[in-house]
Amino acid sequence: MSAPVGSGVTRLRVVFCTRGGFFGALVLNRLLACEQIEVCGIVRSSRMFNPRFGFLRGALAYIRRSGLAYSLYLLCATDLADVLCGFGTIGRVPIRSRSGEIPVHTTRDINDPETLRFLSGCAPGLIVSAFFDQRLQEAALAIPSLGCVNIHPSLLPAFKGVDPVLQARVQRADSIGVTVHKMVPALDAGDILAQRSLIPAVRASVFETTASLFREGAELLVGQIAQLARAESGTPQPSDGSYQSWPTRADLRALRSLGGSLIRFADFRRMLE
């Protein structure tokens, strides 16, 4: 669905789904700046590894799987980034709605009945997902009239799943990039709408590279608004590709052995700019 504005321009109603943090804020700010888009709702993930887990159990699950360093990196990219972005020009993804602002719904499972009611009440034309750690099932995917799209920081079909930038570094990929694609029940498997390659700085951290890809992905997305409004189809993904779940401690050791880093001190300054 779309909403007319005073100038006669029709704006596309969008619900934005994200885990928040710096990456989510980068994409949200670009959506808000686009005159062709009306952000009519935000779904923010509160999942900790598994929808059944609370904070403590989820945090322990991250540490067991990926180690303490990666768990702290996630904390920096999400909760700490929300605090720092609040002091800078980027702005944070709201955790809750305040009167007169965009309605926000926080959930561990976007497919639960309460969240489905929230999505339906927003009457979106499009759902946009970026830095979102939940998979939409058929009921959620069917709500927006023009479907759902995701910004994924890899050149799909390569590096589907969690933290593709880290995996690309560890596996010494020849190129990295970002993909805007339509969403289907299978993870990161929908038709490709647009892709862009990026040459990262030699010593760029996983955080810096991921932020650059989400920034480029947001630009790709707004460049596709006219096509999305016409419900144009994308290009089917090749059947090959790869999928990685949460990184392991071995992945982190491999990253360090290659001279890579998850986050650097300069990255914290970027959150304040």
At 4 the pLDDT is: 47
Higher per-residue confidence, 4 vs 168: 168
Q: What is the pTM of this model?
A: 0.93
User: What are 91's two structure tokens?
Assistant: 């702005």
User: What is the tens place of the pLDDT at every residue in 27-75?
Assistant: 999 999 999 999 999 999 999 988 898 889 999 999 999 999 999 999 9
Q: Give yes or no for residue 6 having a pLDDT over 50.
A: no
User: What are 51's two structure tokens?
Assistant: 């929808």
Kindly report the length of the chain: 273
User: What are 223's two structure tokens?
Assistant: 């460049």
At 193 the pLDDT is: 96
Residue 42 to residues 54, 57, 187: CA-CA distances in angstroms? 22, 26, 21
DSSP code of 236? P
Q: Give the β-pairing of 160-161 and 243-244.
A: parallel
User: What is the tens place of the pLDDT at every residue in 147-167?
Assistant: 999 999 999 999 999 999 999
Among residues of the chain, what percentage have pLDDT more than 90? Answer: 72
Please give the tally of structural domains in the chain: 1
User: What is the tens place of the pLDDT at every residue in 187-205?
Assistant: 999 999 999 998 877 789 9
Within 8 A by CB and 6+ apart from 69, the residues are 252, 262
- For the domain that residue 131 is a member of, what is the CATH number? 3.40.50.170
Query: Which domain, by its residues, includes 68?
Result: 2-272
pLDDT averaged over every residue in the chain: 91
